[in-house]
A and B are shown apart, each in its own frame.
Chain A
Amino acid sequence: MTRLATLRRSLSPGSIGIIYVWALLIVFFSVWKPDLFPTMSTVRSVLNLNALAGLAALAILVPMVSGAIDASIGGNISLSGVCCAWLFQNTHLSVLAVVLITLGIGATIGLVNVLVVVVLKIPSIIGTLATWLICDSLSSAVAGQQSSLSPPQLSGSFGNDFAIASWQNFTIPVLFVLVLAAVMGLWLTQTPSGRYTHAVGLNPAVARNTGIRVSLIQSCALVVGGILGAFAGMVLAAQYASASPGSGDAYLLPAFAAVFLGATQFRLKRFTAWGTVLAVFMLATGEYGLALAGAASWIPNVFQGLALIIAIGLSRQVFSRTARVTKRPQQAGSAVSAGDGPHGTDVPAGATLQ
């Protein structure tokens, strides 16, 4: 394949559709609200207000790549945020100690998910919905009678380091998202363990036959997801200088929407870090534009819901297409010649094997 063809293919709408939809949204809202929308403050708002959604999405991305859906992220964010605030309120621990303990709580949630999904082999969507409920209830239990915990430390140096510090009015969580996406992208595409995680998620039986430790990799992925969820919980608590039970639930569905939408991007149609981040900010741009245009408050949620359906619809189509290609060798002889997928067309099978 020539370099030009490769370039054309990687720039095609099928490959990076999110960028095109994003551009369309920007043009559309810029024309509709020329005075309000195309401004630096829009850029800042979209990034600053949605960095946390990006962190939540990246937190579920890791288990997702390994083939486990982690629905406990909502409860994890709530519980770790509330625990962090509770520790500031009721102990004299240093900021570092509180941060480490909170990350430990996230890791523990990840370990509970390991117990449910890997050890007990309960389907991850069901098992982690249960752990979500448990975490959510525990966050209420920790908060006790209070509807929210707002110890002053949440707006002190802790708040500054996790949410408030800014450069050119871009707050630090934006940096967290970009750095995390870069690290995760590098890990998933350029290291053996990243590749094994993909292999485990895509074909667990094959991965096991190859000698890859499937259970170990899935367990690590769930624990890493739990730790990142706790990190997101601390950022949320710092952003609001308060933590309340159930506050993380709102991040669950947008995170999944972003991860699935991100997986429809790029040539290989896999879960990717940058695809996920792009999807988060594309969806956010749409919502922000709708809000600027004065759309009723229910409309952005409808947009979000539709985006989720379309995203999963598109990625399911992508995945089922791969599945269909997979079945072909079962039919004898001219297996692949009738290909219609993006990577099914190339080989006139019977003829080439002479």
Chain B
Amino acid sequence: MLLSLRGVSKSFGAVHALQDVDLDVLAGKVTALVGDNGAGKSTLVKTVAGTWQPTSGEIFWKDQRTSIRTPRDADALGIATVYQDLALCDNLDIVQNMFLGHERLRFRLLDENAMERAARGTLAELSVTTVRSVRQLVASLSGGQRQSVAVARAVMRDAQLVIMDEPTAALGVSQTAQVLALIRTLADRGIGVLLISHNLNDVFSVADRIAVLYLGRLVHSGDVAGYTPQRVVEIITTGTLATAAT
């Protein structure tokens, strides 16, 4: 088990954003986390990413109890979060973004050539072939390319868990396909992926496991094979599966 949450709750004053959540994320598998707006998906992501602390409950990393107090802690464990719009610095170029916080040095100064080579290598490894130059600013990239660069950044850091927050929300059809292929590549490399998505087409085309949040509670989880999109929609909207027996 790569990451396990046991009884995790998070309250903001009187608002219980997460209540008693148990969640397992496996290495080499894509776990999809679905739920309606306000179900607690973002809160859960931010709790694992170190932005927020759980009010109660335990987090296990590789079966060891751990606490993730800051994004730095998450980074040190090998958890990388690819936020929808806050993953990359627009005014830095691709190489600078991929190494931000982990620059390579030569004579105590930045070793741009080594970083550029490594960035190119990682992008090629992930079959990201659409960026024209690794020295262009991230601001000039398309949404799909931004996601690709953010993922490549995580891979280059040897992240073992990549959390992707609505990676395809702003993308067109071909870019979505590209990003889903990239997610599959990650899982095939043995990396655990936690995919937060609204789009059940994406979920059913790429995920191995599925977990459904409803009003802050994790109401269903299991292999994706055990669900159909219709049933998942029912769980998302009602929190239960009335037709389970049929």
Residues of A within 8 A of B136 (CB): 343, 346-347
Given A202-B91, A210-B71, A354-B130, 5 more contacts at CB 8 Å? A206-B86, A268-B137, A333-B172, A343-B139, A349-B142
Residue of B nearest to A1 (CB): B133
Point out the residue from A210, A213, A332 that lies within 8 Å of B172, measured CB to CB: A332
Interface residues on A, range: 35 or more
Q: Given that A195-B96, A343-B137 are known contacts, is A322 also in contact with B90, CB under 8 Å in the complex?
A: yes
Query: Could you tell me if B49 and A329 are in contact, using CB atoms closer than 8 angstroms?
Result: no
Which of B18-26, B99-107, B194-202 binds A? B99-107
Flag the segment in B9-17, B54-62, B143-151, B236-244 that touches A. B143-151
**Interface size range on B against A:** 35 or more
A12 interfacial by beta-carbon distance below 8 Å: no
CA distance A16 to B218 in the complex (A): 57
Tell me the bound Cα distance from A40 to B143 in angstroms.
Answer: 55
Q: How far is the CB of B96 from chain A (nearest CB, A)?
A: 7
Partner of B70, one of A207, A211, A332, A335: A211
| Number of A-B pairs, beta carbon distance below 8 Å | 141
Q: Are B172 and A334 in contact (CB under 8 A)?
A: yes
Q: Given the known A-B contacts A339-B140, A347-B132, are A202 and B92 also in contact in the complex, defined by CB atoms under 8 Å?
A: yes
Complex Cα–Cα for A335 and B143 (A): 7
Given A330-B170, A353-B130, are A192 and B90 also a contact pair (CB < 8 Å)?
no
Decide: A329 and B143 in contact? CB cutoff 8 A: yes
Q: Tell me if B's interface is mostly helix, strand, loop or mixed.
A: loop
Distance (whole angstroms) from the CB of A262 to the closest CB of chain B: 16
B: residues with CB less than 8 A from A are 49, 51, 70-72, 74-75, 81, 83, 85-92, 96, 100-101, 103, 105, 108-110, 130-133, 136-137, 139-146, 170-175, 178
Nearest CB on A from B120, distance (A)? 15
Q: Is A9 in the interface zone, CB < 8 Å from B?
A: no
Judge if A331 is at the interface, Cβ distance under 8 Å. Answer: yes
Please list 11 pairs of residues, one from A and one from B, whose beta carbons are closer than 8 Å in the complex, sorted by A's number: A190-B110, A195-B103, A202-B89, A208-B71, A209-B83, A325-B139, A326-B139, A329-B141, A345-B140, A347-B145, A349-B142
